[in-house]
């Protein structure tokens, strides 16, 4: 199956477009069935892709069969395939959750979610920086439409900031791409890594500027410190399944930082080696700090979850700042865990706010929820996983990450920052849980019960956490392999440029 | 030619950034458009500026780089779609929020004069 690599990109696009055509578009139930079918198929394809790329090595797919480094390349290494699988599972949960009501509040929900999945998958799979930009735009324009889905004052207001910020980000991205193409004459990530050595000293400065501009863009996407102000309000105002799906979007930024600043500006970049690390350390620590303060100050569960996403971004950036193979592997494990759990928390916040009447998910005294025990149980599992307590996956992720900080300074900074942010998270989440579930003013039996589809979606996401503990061995093997590919130029660069290895010196 | 081109990009970027920092949506949208023009011009120049050089090998001695032209074309299309979206969003914001400020509310600074407030 040589076309397997492009399927995770094409399948959701075509699925989303077919949803717009008459036989399916006419009825909502047909749309739901088709969307669920498409996302299940996508999960199967992603599993196959992960298996192929893990057992047979990185898969290279050249669109139009051009000779690399020319043309657009898709690269399915274990890291990209793993994240594609993560997106597919998350997309399935978001579609399933929305099937019991959230997709009726506006039109084209399923089409937009599928287009978003396609953009995210494309961004993970691409081996070409301009194609990364295009995939960013695909996922962004789907996310713009999803953010205002359902309508309302808060959504419009949050959306204005989000759209304008991201349009400026896209401009900066294009400027960086222009500089890189002007200096290096290529947009293929592997080829760029090869050509950095050929630069003169003046040109190196320009490329350094471009590399750091890229860091700004990816920082905006991943919400690292000075660029994070859009995140809490945006995520808190989006409707639940959409906010859950957005949990993957900050990870696209983190992935791009790992990809660009390890493969292109990594250890082997000569004068330009590790240009981002100087900035990443303080930014990571400060992001953790901002997330912790935000979590303590949050007034409702959705805002708290959005701030927990900031903490997870900070933790992942620590992994990027340490910049060793071990740290990257640990960060990828933590990335999987945090995406599942924070998505589940957004969904739980929706159920909670539906059963508390006017108080919604704010931390105030309110009537007792109809299914308090069920929701409290789900919340407890999600909270334990989120703060990184044993026995769930957050603990393993954090332990792996802390273990990988081996030098004294790195250990001092990362341990204290991550552990203190974890403490703040415990305080904030336990305060949230006690207020939501125990401070009850009156007991009513009104309100809707949780629809089964929503419950299945949440349990699917939450069960990934214990499963990641039970199968920690194989999963860490995959994340380690993913990190190994990223840090080994023979695998991440030379293997993708056959013409260069066969014919060194010219092509 | 390089000087003129660089000045164009610089002036467009400056105006764009200035407009984006305004507090009402219409100047911000205009600013985004200007910044988009600047970026497209800049991207175009990454293939080096030359006159009378077609992007076809064999027809002239000096041939232009076709890739930046393709990139600019993509960037123009995407930028156009995004501008259309942000215009609609700004209009909807005007309708939903009752004013055209980016923050959704009229800033309450009694110390400012009417002119500064705009």
Considering the domain boundaries, does residue B118 fall inside one?
no
Using the beta-carbon criterion (under 8 Å), do A178 and B39 form an inter-chain contact?
A: yes
In a domain, A502, yes or no: no
pLDDT tens for the 507 residues of chain A, in order = 578 999 999 999 999 999 998 888 888 888 999 999 999 999 999 999 999 999 988 888 888 888 878 888 899 999 999 999 999 999 999 999 999 888 888 888 999 999 999 999 999 999 899 999 999 999 999 999 999 888 788 888 889 999 999 999 999 999 999 999 999 988 889 888 888 888 888 888 999 999 999 999 999 999 888 888 889 888 888 889 999 999 999 999 999 999 999 888 888 777 888 888 889 999 999 999 999 999 999 999 999 999 999 999 999 999 999 888 999 999 999 999 999 999 999 999 999 888 887 888 888 888 888 888 899 999 999 999 999 888 899 899 999 999 888 878 888 888 999 999 999 999 999 999 999 888 888 777 666 788 888 999 999 999 999 999 999 999 999 999 999 988 888 888 887 887 544 444 443
Provide the β-strand partners of residue A126: A74
Contact state of A141 with B82 under an 8 Å Cβ cutoff: yes
Q: Is the pLDDT of residue B116 over 70?
A: no
Nearest CA to A246 out of A117, A332, A379, A427 is that of A117
Closest CA in chain B for residue A184: B46
* Residue B30 domain flag: yes
CATH number of the domain to which B98 belongs: 1.10.287.3510
Question: Cβ distance A144 to A163 under 8 Å?
Answer: yes
Q: Kindly state the tokens that stand for A362.
A: 């704010």
- pLDDT above 60 for B111: no
Asked if residue B115 is part of any domain, the answer here is no
Measured CA distances, A110 to A9, A38, A92, A138, A360 (Å): 16, 10, 11, 15, 26
Q: Whole domain around residue B33: which residue ranges?
A: 2-48+63-106
Domain assignment present for residue B86? The answer is yes
| Domain annotation covers residue B68 | yes
What single string gives the DSSP state of each residue in A185-223? S--BHHHHHHHGGG--HHHHHHHHHHHHHHHHHHHHHHT
Distance CA B74, CA B89 (A): 23
Asked if residue B113 belongs to a domain, the reply is no
What letter does residue A62 receive in the DSSP assignment? E
CB pair distance less than 8 Å for B81 and A156: no
Ramachandran quadrant class, A118 (left: phi over 0; alpha: psi -120 to 50; beta: rest): alpha
Long-range contacts of B63-72, Cβ-Cβ distance < 8 Å, separation of 24 or more: B67/A181, B67/A187, B68/A178, B68/A181, B68/B43, B68/B44, B69/B44, B71/A130, B71/A177, B71/A181, B71/B43, B72/B40, B72/B43, B72/B44
The 10s digit of each residue's pLDDT in B22-63 is 989 999 999 999 999 999 999 989 888 888 778 787 777 788
| Domain ranges, residue A420 | 4-497
Cross-chain residue pair A168–B32, CB shorter than 8 Å: yes
All residues of chain B having their beta carbon less than 8 Å from the beta carbon of residue A182 are 45-48
Give A134's contacts in chain B (Cβ within 8 Å). 74, 78
Tally of CB atoms within 10 A around B76: 16
Query: For the whole model, what pTM was predicted?
Result: 0.92
Instruction: Classify residue A505: in a domain, yes or no.
Output: no
Report the domain count for chain A: 1
CA angle A314, A318, A322 (to 5 degrees): 170
The SS3 assignment for A362 reads strand
pLDDT at site A504: 44
B57 occurs within a structural domain:
no
Report the 10 Å Cβ neighbour count for A307.
27
Longest CA span, chain B: 68
Q: Would you list the DSSP string of chain B?
A: -HHHHHHHHHHHHHHHHHHHTSSBHHHHHHHHHHHHHHHHHHHHHTT---SS--SSBTTBSS---HHHHHHHHHHHHHHHHHHHHHHHHHHHHHHHHSS-BTTSS----TTS-HHHH-
On whether the CB atoms of residues A299 and A435 are closer than 8 A, the answer is no
> Is B28 in Cβ contact with A157 (below 8 Å)?
no
The DSSP code sequence of A379-413 is HHHHHHHHHT-TTSHHHHHHHHHHHH--SHHHHHH
Q: How many domains does chain B contain in total?
A: 1
- Number of C-alpha atoms within 13 angstroms, CB side, residue A205? 2
Q: Indicate whether B22 belongs to any domain.
A: yes
- In this prediction the ipTM stands at 0.91
pLDDT at residue B109, as a whole number:
65
pLDDT at position B39 is: 94
The residue among A63, A70, A164 with the most chain B CBs within 10 A of its CB, best to mutate, is A164
Sequence-distant (≥ 6) Cβ neighbours of residue A489 within 8 angstroms? A193, A263, A266, A268
Cα(A60)–Cα(B29) distance, integer angstroms: 40
Q: What is the DSSP string of A122-185?
A: HHHHB-BHHHHHHHHHHHHHHHHHHHTTT--HHHHHHHHHHHHHHHHHHHHHHHHHHHHHHHHS
Nearest to B93 among A160, A175, A177 (CB): A160
- Given A137, A159, A181, which is nearest B46 (Cβ)? A181
Looking at the partner chain, which of B36, B46, B86 has a beta carbon nearest the beta carbon of A182? B46
């Amino acid at each position: 199956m040589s076309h397997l690599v492009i399927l995770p990109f094409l399948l959701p696009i075509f699925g989303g477009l077919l949803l717009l055509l008459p036989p399916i578009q006419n009825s909502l139930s047909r749309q739901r069935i088709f969307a669920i079918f498409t996302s299940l198929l996508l999960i199967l394809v992603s599993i196959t892709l992960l298996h192929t790329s893990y057992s047979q090595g990185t898969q290279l797919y050249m669109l139009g069969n051009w000779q690399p480094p020319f043309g657009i390349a898709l690269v399915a290494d274990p890291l990209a395939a793993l994240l594609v699988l993560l997106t597919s599972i998350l997309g399935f949960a978001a579609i399933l959750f929305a099937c019991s009501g959230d997709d009726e509040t506006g039109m084209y929900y399923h089409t937009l979610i599928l287009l978003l999945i396609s953009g995210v998958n494309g961004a993970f799979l691409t081996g070409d920086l301009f194609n990364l930009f295009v995939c960013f735009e695909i996922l962004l324009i789907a996310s713009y439409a999803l953010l205002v889905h359902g309508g309302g004052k808060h959504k419009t207001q949050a959306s204005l900031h989000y759209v304008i910020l991201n349009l400026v980000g896209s401009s900066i991205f294009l400027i960086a791409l222009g500089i890189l193409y002007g200096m290096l004459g290529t947009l293929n990530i592997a080829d760029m890594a090869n050509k950095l050595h050929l630069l003169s000293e003046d040109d190196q400065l320009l490329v350094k500027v471009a590399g750091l501009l890229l860091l700004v863009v990816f920082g905006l996407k991943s919400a690292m410190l000075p660029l994070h102000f859009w995140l809490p309000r945006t995520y808190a105002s989006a409707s639940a399944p959409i906010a859950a799906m957005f949990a993957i979007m900050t990870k696209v930024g983190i992935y791009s930082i790992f990809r660009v600043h390890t493969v292109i500006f990594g250890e082997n970049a000569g004068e330009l080696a590790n240009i981002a690390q100087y900035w990443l350390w303080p930014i990571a620590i400060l992001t953790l700090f901002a997330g912790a303060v935000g979590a303590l100050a949050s007034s409702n569960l959705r805002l708290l979850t959005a701030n927990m996403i900031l903490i997870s971004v900070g933790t992942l950036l620590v992994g990027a700042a340490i910049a060793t193979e071990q740290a990257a592997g640990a960060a990828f494990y933590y990335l999987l865990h945090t995406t599942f759990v924070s998505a589940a928390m957004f969904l739980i916040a929706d159920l909670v706010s539906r059963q508390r009447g006017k108080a919604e998910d704010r931390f105030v005294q309110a009537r007792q929820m109809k299914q308090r025990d069920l929701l409290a149980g789900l919340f407890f599992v999600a909270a334990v996983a989120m703060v990184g307590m044993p026995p769930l996956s957050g603990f393993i992720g954090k332990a792996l990450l802390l273990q990988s900080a081996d030098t004294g300074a790195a250990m001092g900074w990362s341990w204290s920052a991550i552990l203190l942010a974890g403490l703040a998270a415990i305080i904030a989440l336990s305060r949230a849980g006690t207020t939501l579930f125990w401070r009850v003013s009156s007991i009513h039996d009104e309100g809707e019960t949780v629809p089964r589809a929503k419950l299945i979606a949440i349990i699917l996401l939450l069960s990934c956490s214990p499963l990641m503990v039970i199968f920690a061995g194989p999963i860490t093997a995959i994340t380690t392999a993913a990190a190994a590919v990223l840090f080994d130029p023979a695998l991440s660069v030379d293997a993708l440029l056959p013409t260069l290895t066969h014919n060194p010196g010219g092509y | 030619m390089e000087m003129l081109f660089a000045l164009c990009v610089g002036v467009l970027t400056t105006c764009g950034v200035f407009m984006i920092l305004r507090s009402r949506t219409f100047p911000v949208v205009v600013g985004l458009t200007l910044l988009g023009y600047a970026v497209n011009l800049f991207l175009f120049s990454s293939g080096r500026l030359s006159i009378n050089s077609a992007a076809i090998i064999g027809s002239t001695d000096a041939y232009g780089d076709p890739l930046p032209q393709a990139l600019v074309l993509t960037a123009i299309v995407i930028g156009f779609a995004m501008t259309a979206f942000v215009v609609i969003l700004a209009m909807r914001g005007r309708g939903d929020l009752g004013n055209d400020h980016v923050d959704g509310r009229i800033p309450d600074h009694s110390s400012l004069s009417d002119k500064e407030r705009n």
